[in-house]
Amino acid sequence: MKVNVIPALLGFVCLAFVGTGIAARQATPRQLPPPVPAGTAPKPDPTKPYVYRKISDRFYVIAEIHQPYPVDEVNNPPHTQQMGLIIGTKRAAIIDTGLGLADLRKYVAQFTDLPVIALSTHGHLDHVGANQLFDEAYVGKEDEQTALSSNRAGRLRGYSGFMEGNTAMIEAATKSMVDDKPIKYNFVKDGDKIDLGGIEIEVIGFPGHTPGSVAYVERQHKVAFTGDSMLFRVLLSNREKLAQWTESVKNFAAKTKDITTIVNGHQWEPFHQSDIAEELALSDAIMQRKITGASKVILNSPRMIYTLGSKRIGLSDDK
């Protein structure tokens, strides 16, 4: 009997050990760099193109860090390119990929070994810059051409604009910015559900900032990603787009009453439900012509900027 029991016990101990190892590996895939401590804002550092905050073992917010932009704008928070990394059991998704300041695919490999798909909130070059590094890429169909027209020279120009004369950071970006690669887009639309294995991302259409803008919602963690569609300063073409965007905000609000964290495209601190109401109040004040705007050049284009509380909306063509 003894002869049989000991190998059986040994086998059990070995299995238990292996089992613990697997569980540990799933919970903490690798030794990660330290996250940005809660309550602090990351600072631009040419040696660290990416920083992150942890929401759970399966959910991270990653950001390229810039500087307050434009530097002369009052109460402007540090400018970031915010991304979400959501890890399922079958695959992972990265929501937006910034300007492609460095090898984001390699950075993400610290968090997961799974295939990673890139989901874009819209086609602007500061949101799709590293899409070409991932296994698949998705964008709203109406934004396909905008996304395809993104290239390294444009992304570098965009970065230099955001950094406004910060030569150390611009020089670092000139070396580290990822190259272009041919890319074929798949499309997302309102109502789509993207299954990552045990975790699901919903798509909410959000036309306004661009025709193909969407928001992504993950209800387990109560988090939404809105790209530039909800932001401290929303840029829109004209009053027609303002009306369209306002309907999108109302639709988003109705579908996200359970959401507590709204990660926008360029701000480290997330929005909450109260920010949705502030965006709508500003939109209403502009449409009812209750407030006047101030003309300002942003991203090389003159815009009429309207401000209410901490929110701003910029119209390119304000008639």
The one segment of 85-93, 116-124, 252-260, 300-308 that binds Zn ion by CB under 5 A: 116-124
Query: Beta strand 233-238 with 294-298: parallel, antiparallel or unpaired?
Result: unpaired
Size of the site for Zn ion (CB under 5 A): 2
Q: How far is the CB of 49 from Zn ion (least distance, A)?
A: 20
B/e letters for 115-147, b = 16+ CB within 10 Å, e = fewer, are ebbbbbbbbbbbbbbbbbbbebbbbbebbbebb
Burial (0-12, 13-18, 19+ Cβ within 10 Å), 21: exposed
Kindly tell me which of 124 and 233 has the beta carbon lying closer to Zn ion.
124
Q: How far is the CB of 266 from Zn ion (least distance, A)?
A: 9
The H or E element spanning position 93 is: strand 92-95
List all residues 6 or more positions away from 284 whose beta carbon is below 8 Å from its beta carbon: 246, 290
Q: Which of 250, 245, 221 is nearest to 235 (CA)?
A: 245
Instruction: Round to whole Å and give the CA distance between 265 and 125.
Output: 12
The one segment of 4-12, 33-41, 61-69, 124-132 that binds Zn ion by CB under 5 A: 124-132
Q: Does 91 bind Zn ion (CB under 5 A)?
A: no
Instruction: Round to whole Å and give the CA distance between 102 and 105.
Output: 9
Kindly tell me which of 124 and 303 has the beta carbon lying closer to Zn ion.
124
The one segment of 73-81, 123-131, 169-177, 253-261 that binds Zn ion by CB under 5 A: 123-131
Q: How far is the CB of 122 from Zn ion (least distance, A)?
A: 6
Q: How far is the CB of 235 from Zn ion (least distance, A)?
A: 7
Kindly tell me which of 87 and 99 has the beta carbon lying closer to Zn ion.
99
The one segment of 34-42, 103-111, 159-167, 223-231 that binds Zn ion by CB under 5 A: 223-231
Kindly tell me which of 213 and 246 has the beta carbon lying closer to Zn ion.
213
Kindly tell me which of 150 and 246 has the beta carbon lying closer to Zn ion.
150
Q: Does 96 bind Zn ion (CB under 5 A)?
A: no
Phi and psi at residue 239, in whole multiples of 5°?
-70, -30
Burial (0-12, 13-18, 19+ Cβ within 10 Å), 80: buried
Distances (CA, A) of 135 to 52, 105, 138, 185, 303: 22, 10, 10, 11, 37
Instruction: Round to whole Å and give the CA distance between 100 and 256.
Output: 30
Instruction: Round to whole Å and give the CA distance between 150 and 180.
Output: 9
The one segment of 5-13, 59-67, 171-179, 221-229 that binds Zn ion by CB under 5 A: 221-229
Binding residue for Zn ion, selected from 228, 275, 279, 318, defined by CB under 5 A: 228
Q: Does 124 bind Zn ion (CB under 5 A)?
A: yes
Kindly tell me which of 58 and 124 has the beta carbon lying closer to Zn ion.
124
Kindly tell me which of 228 and 318 has the beta carbon lying closer to Zn ion.
228
**What residues line the site for Zn ion (CB under 5 A)?**
124, 228
